[in-house]
Structure 1
Amino acid sequence: MLKFYQMKSKKIIFILFLLVAVLQLLAPTKMIYDQENTLKNGKALKFLTEPIDPNDPFRGKYINLNYNINSFKTKDTIWERKQDIYIYLNDSLGYATLKTVSKTKLEIDNNYVKTKVSWYNKYNNKLQFNLPFDRFYMEESKAKPAEDLVRINNRRDSLETNTTFALVYLDNDKFVLDNVFINDVSIKDLVDK
């Protein structure tokens, strides 16, 4: 009788092990599927970048990106830090422009990004926020040279001659930062030169 329970116990443990293994494979598979689905079905928009703070430009194996879409003038003064907000965007010749900001999801056809309030400035009535796709990951050996290229091309004295933007695909609550471009050339290609 004891041998029967030991056999049954081993079968249960084996089945649980298999179940856990399958679940561990499903999680990354779902993440990859969602990302590929967003790239396939999402709306591609270009987000113009701004100069990066030279004091802390590199914090890992990625390019740190700042965007020119980072605030919204509003008469609504009731905003809380880290409050979820929806940033609604227009497509202006492929480039993202800010349409409106809402505390709730609106039933309109515009593309949107869900993010959080950074702060609200009562003196100039501006709501500050950061877009959630502010890091572009690269191979370790290429990240620092790419960061330097973005910083050089985003200096305030070169903004009129250089256009640096991030290509982001948006699909409902999902987004994929596909690439970063300087004057329409991929940052990956520029670093490889």
Structure 2
Amino acid sequence: MKTKYLIIAFVITALLQAAVPLKMIYDSEMTEKHGTEYRFRTTPIDPTDPFRGKYITLDFEAEAVTTQDTTWVRNEKVYASLGKDSLGFATITNVSREKPSDKTDYVATKVGYYYGRDLHIDLPFERFYMEESKAYEAETAYREYNLAAVKFMPAYAIVAVKDGNAVLKNVIIDGIPMKEYVLKQREKSK
């Protein structure tokens, strides 16, 4: 009789342990497929993480918001409401401790720091993972593109947002996805 209860407890525990990552994957897939796309202007750096592999860390122009509220605490959970500027790039229209009650798209995030009247938030989609052989070239190409005197289009990240979740879909350089841009640069250098 005890064995029967142990087996039932084991099955329930296994199902619960499988449910959490499956729910996370499902939320990411639904956000990517059905979320609203935003274009965030970026500036990258290229670290290596031995556990996560090669990726490009992105900093976003939209991470800073001017506010009169001086009570922000580092790592405090907040909700950043999103909008678009006249060129169609993402902006943060409001930061709140409460979820927006209207139909505004928002991202659940944390406070990075508060200085002067500027609140800096840590957007949850700052890492763009790439195949290891392309990551360094991508960062180099991106840096060179940003330093070029003439740019017709800024580099930006495409991020899907739905119900507070955000998924970084791609990084665009000169109107081309980053991976294709790297391959194009390789061809030019031959």
TM norm. shorter chain > 0.5: yes
| 2:58 is aligned with 1:65 | yes
Q: Match for residue 160 of structure 2? A: 169
| 2:124 is aligned with 1:116 | no
Residues 159 and 33 of structure 1, relative CA distance in 2, 3 Å threshold: farther
Q: What CA distance in whole angstroms lies between the structure 2 residues aligned with 1:110 and 1:176?
A: 17
Deviates more, 1:64-73 or 1:29-38: 29-38
After TM superposition, list the pairs within 5 Å mapping 1:1-193 onto structure 2.
9=3, 18-19=11-12, 21-50=14-43, 52=44, 57-60=46-49, 61-92=54-85, 93-122=87-116, 125-155=117-147, 158=149, 160-193=151-184
Tell me the C-alpha RMSD between the 2 structures: 2.4
Paired residue total: 179
Residues 18 and 77 of structure 1, relative CA distance in 2, 3 Å threshold: closer
Structure 1 unaligned spans of 5+: none
Q: What CA distance in whole angstroms lies between the structure 2 residues aligned with 1:130 and 1:154?
A: 22
Query: How far is the alpha carbon of 1:14 from its aligned partner?
Result: 5.5
Q: What CA distance in whole angstroms lies between the structure 1 residues aligned with 2:170 and 2:102?
A: 27
Q: What CA distance in whole angstroms lies between the structure 1 residues aligned with 2:120 and 2:89?
A: 20
Q: What CA distance in whole angstroms lies between the structure 2 residues aligned with 1:150 and 1:131?
A: 20
Per-residue CA deviation, residues 85-108 of structure 1 (Å, 9 max, x unaligned), is: 211111335421221222222222
Indicate if the aligned counterparts of 2:100 and 2:106 stay in contact, CA closer than 8 A.
no
Per-residue CA deviation, residues 119-139 of structure 1 (Å, 9 max, x unaligned), is: 2113xx111222111100112
Query: How far is the alpha carbon of 1:151 from its aligned partner?
Result: 2.2
* The structure with more radius of gyration: 1
Residues 79 and 29 of structure 1, relative CA distance in 2, 3 Å threshold: closer
SS of equivalent to 1:154: helix
SS of equivalent to 1:35: helix
Indicate if the aligned counterparts of 1:154 and 1:162 stay in contact, CA closer than 8 A.
no
Structure 2 unaligned spans of 5+: 185-190
TM-score, L = length of structure 2: 0.80
Indicate if the aligned counterparts of 1:72 and 1:128 stay in contact, CA closer than 8 A.
yes
Residues 179 and 106 of structure 1, relative CA distance in 2, 3 Å threshold: same
Per-residue CA deviation, residues 153-178 of structure 1 (Å, 9 max, x unaligned), is: 233x5474451111000001211100
Query: How far is the alpha carbon of 1:13 from its aligned partner?
Result: 5.6
